[in-house]
């Protein structure tokens, strides 16, 4: 694939694109030729000198335009159903089409499950999981109608953002891990539903040093030379690739990406199967069959896949 202009004529929405990963993804899509709608909920503020600064979405859109690309800013909360509808409509009204949706917007409210408040739970689930659903809903409805009008498949790409926290069972992030696990379920369901319309839906688990994760990676220093292994620039090319025509056969997949490495994860496999000798199990029979099996199994061998945290280039 010649990457130069591979997304020319395509329109992309990137949510949470005012900073960090979303910003890097928006810049990469624009570099590949896409017209980008830069969504972020952030407001204008003050810079270090006290001067007024533009809202984060407008700053990124201006950066893209200054580099010769096409971009517009959209300030809105994707976790609000009506505002998500407005975002998709804004893209269609501005550029006349929508081919790519990158769901990236998110927040953290880390706490152990026994200390977490209801609001901390609800807020994270709302922004991550509902936010992904809202934009996906309106983009999917558009592509379905477009496919009906065209009488066949159309071009559509969704890239969702999950996390290793869901895979490894991060103890201090029950809300975040649950939301990111839900996003994987949303991804595979949507991938199956939209495949016949020509739309692919995949999820990535990125690891990157951003404002949202600065506390998570606080102890890891930025190297003096070379690209930081936790730089968002390691993630954005994968998003650009998944949005491109070359990735047409990649659908319903989950990929871990960071530090010059991309890992494709396999779906869960059945580890053991137990059949009752009778018409239905009883507690006693389950005790006879399952207890010896788990007595020989390491307590650390759970559904959580902590080994993904050890993945690295090389």
pLDDT tens digit string along 62-103? 999 999 999 999 999 999 999 999 999 999 999 999 999 999
Q: Residue 53 pLDDT more than 80?
A: no
Contact 136, 182 (CB under 8 A): no
pLDDT at 209: 77
How many of the other CB atoms lie within 10 Å of CB of 244? 20
Q: What are phi and psi of 26, to 5 degrees?
A: -65, -45
Residues belonging to the active site: 163, 176, 180
Scanning the structure block, which residue is given the tokens 């580099």? 67
User: Which is it for the CA torsion 161, 167, 171, 174, positive or negative?
Assistant: positive
Residue 275 corresponds to which tokens in the numbers above? 């059949």
Question: pLDDT tens across 152-172, in order?
Answer: 999 999 999 999 999 999 999
Compute the distance between CA of residue 186 and CA of residue 98 in angstroms, rounded to an integer: 20
pLDDT at 45: 62
pLDDT at 54: 80
Q: Residue 200 pLDDT more than 90?
A: yes
Residue with more model confidence, 282 or 300: 282
What does the mean pLDDT of the chain come to? 92
Q: Residue 41 pLDDT more than 70?
A: yes
Contact 38, 18 (CB under 8 A): yes
Strands 254-258 and 261-264: antiparallel
Contact 147, 132 (CB under 8 A): no
Q: Residue 216 pLDDT more than 60?
A: no
pLDDT at 214: 52
Q: In percent, how much of the chain has pLDDT > 70?
A: 90
Please give the C-alpha separations between residue 299 and each of 166, 178, 253, 306, in angstroms, as whole numbers.
19, 22, 29, 13
pLDDT at 160: 98
């Amino acid at each position: 694939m010649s990457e130069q202009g591979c997304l020319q004529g395509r329109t992309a929405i990137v949510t949470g694109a005012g900073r960090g990963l979303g910003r890097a993804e928006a810049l990469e899509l624009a570099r590949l030729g896409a017209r980008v709608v830069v969504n972020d909920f952030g407001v204008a503020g003050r810079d270090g000198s006290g001067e007024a600064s533009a809202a984060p979405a407008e700053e990124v859109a201006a950066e893209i335009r200054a580099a010769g690309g096409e971009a517009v800013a959209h300030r809105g909360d994707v976790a609000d159903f009506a505002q998500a509808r407005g975002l998709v409509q804004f893209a269609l009204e501005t550029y006349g089409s929508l081919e790519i949706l990158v769901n990236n917007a998110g927040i953290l409210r880390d706490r152990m499950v026994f200390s977490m408040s209801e609001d901390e739970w609800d807020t994270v689930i709302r922004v991550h999981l509902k936010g992904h659903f809202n934009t996906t809903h309106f983009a999917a409805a558009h592509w379905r109608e477009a496919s009906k009008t065209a009488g066949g498949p159309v071009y559509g790409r969704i890239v969702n953002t999950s996390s290793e926290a869901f895979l490894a069972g991060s103890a201090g992030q029950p809300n975040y891990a649950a939301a990111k696990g839900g996003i994987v379920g949303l991804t595979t369901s949507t991938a199956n539903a939209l495949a016949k319309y020509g739309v692919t839906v995949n999820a990535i688990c990125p690891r990157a040093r951003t404002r949202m994760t600065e506390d998570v990676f606080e102890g890891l220093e930025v190297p003096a030379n070379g690209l930081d292994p936790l730089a968002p620039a390691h993630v954005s090319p994968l998003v650009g690739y998944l949005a491109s025509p070359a990735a047409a056969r990649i659908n319903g997949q989950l990929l871990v990406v960071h530090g010059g490495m991309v890992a494709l994860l396999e779906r869960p496999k059945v580890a053991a199967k137990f059949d009752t000798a009778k018409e239905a199990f009883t507690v006693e029979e389950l005790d006879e069959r399952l207890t010896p099996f788990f007595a020989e199994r390491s307590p650390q061998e759970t559904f959580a896949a902590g080994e993904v945290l050890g993945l690295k280039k090389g």
